[in-house]
């Protein structure tokens, strides 16, 4: 099976922030992380309502920072800022399917429709920094336009180091089953992304010629997922992990913003457990830090007694 350095945590908007990355590092110190996507406009203008615009990455191990945008010059500027802030590599988002990015902003997955602009952006970012540049994309815009290989070839010609390929089209979003084509003849390393959850999934990707795997939604409520796949390690005292994660979120965002932001994580951690539905309903009404901590402790205490 792949070495641990060939496992990546996918960039997930609103999820792979610094607190979540800190929790993942407790279980997988050697895994490669990618930040949630950052707007090149927001980063260049240093919007103060976006804390991640001011993150430093020197102490985060092997971490790439993902940027999105439709302007090659701004993307290059953003890449320089992130390099100066300690990123180990720059990842260009060419796969985000949400309308505000892929249609209204002409970025993300839209670049699968505009290979000329995609190439301009890749070349500009590669020239702008001294660290590797990668791309994350999808199979294509829709089932009739699965032209991912053309984009991979453009990436290789532009000096991009590797491409993470999500096994769905933009039109599919996150529905259906991810399809992973054979990539053994691609000119640069390809990282498999989409529906990878088990050891068998990882081995299948190896057989298809992938250079590594990128795991996303399987990490929700299970930041130990990669450690589980690589070492068979599943933690027992989940409540301590949940409370530690909450403390990190509060430290980063403050209590007023952090409590509402953490409620989704509390729900993911509880998934599949007895009483989880009622717990999620209760948690979604909580705005006070102490009340949330008490509810979390109460829920996992009750589960332990069953």
The residues annotated as belonging to the active site are 96
**What is the full DSSP assignment across 273-300?**
STTHHHHHHHHTT---HHHHHHHHHHHH
| Residue 177: exposure state from Cβ atoms within 10 A (0-12, 13-18, ≥19) | exposed
Give the phi and the psi of residue 33 in degrees, each rounded to 5: -110, 150
Rounded to whole angstroms, the Cα distance separating 263 from 260 reads: 5
- Beta strand spans in the chain (E): 7-9, 32-34, 38-39, 63-68, 89-94, 133-138, 162-166, 190-193, 212-215
- Which residues, including other chains, have CB under 8 Å from residue 134's CB and lie 6 or more apart? 64, 89, 90, 91, 92, 160, 161, 162, 163, 164
Query: How many angstroms separate the Cα of 244 from the Cα of each of 20, 33, 236?
Result: 10, 20, 14
Taking alpha carbons only, the member of 223, 205, 131 closest to residue 166 is 205
Rounded to whole angstroms, the Cα distance separating 65 from 34 reads: 6
């Amino acid at each position: 099976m792949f070495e641990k350095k060939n496992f990546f945590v996918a960039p997930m908007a609103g999820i792979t922030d610094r607190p979540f990355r800190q929790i993942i590092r407790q279980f997988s110190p050697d895994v490669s992380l990618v930040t949630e996507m950052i707007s090149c406009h927001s980063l260049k203008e240093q919007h103060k309502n976006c804390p991640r615009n001011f993150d430093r990455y020197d102490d985060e191990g092997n971490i790439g920072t993902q940027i999105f945008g439709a302007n090659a010059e701004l993307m290059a500027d953003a890449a320089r800022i992130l390099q100066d802030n300690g990123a180990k590599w720059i990842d260009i988002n060419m796969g985000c399917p949400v309308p505000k990015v892929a249609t209204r902003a002409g970025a993300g997955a839209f670049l699968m429709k505009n290979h000329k602009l995609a190439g301009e952006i890749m070349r500009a970012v590669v020239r702008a920094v001294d660290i590797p540049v990668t791309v994350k994309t999808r199979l294509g815009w829709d089932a009739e336009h699965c032209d991912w290989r053309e984009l991979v070839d453009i990436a290789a010609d532009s000096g991009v180091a590797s491409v993470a390929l999500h096994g769905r089209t933009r039109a599919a979003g996150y529905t259906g089953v991810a399809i992973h084509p054979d990539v053994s003849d691609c000119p640069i390393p390809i990282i498999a992304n989409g529906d990878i959850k088990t050891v068998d999934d990882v081995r299948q990707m190896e057989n298809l010629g992938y250079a590594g795997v990128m795991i996303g939604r399987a990490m929700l409520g299970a930041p130990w997922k990669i450690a589980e796949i690589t070492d068979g390690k599943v933690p027992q005292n989940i409540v301590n992990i949940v409370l530690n994660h909450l403390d990190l979120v509060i430290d980063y965002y403050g209590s007023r913003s952090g409590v509402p932001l953490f409620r989704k994580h509390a729900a993911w951690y509880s998934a599949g457990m007895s009483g989880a539905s009622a717990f999620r309903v209760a948690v979604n009404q909580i705005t006070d830090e102490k009340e949330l901590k008490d509810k979390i402790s109460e829920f996992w205490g009750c589960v332990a007694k069953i």
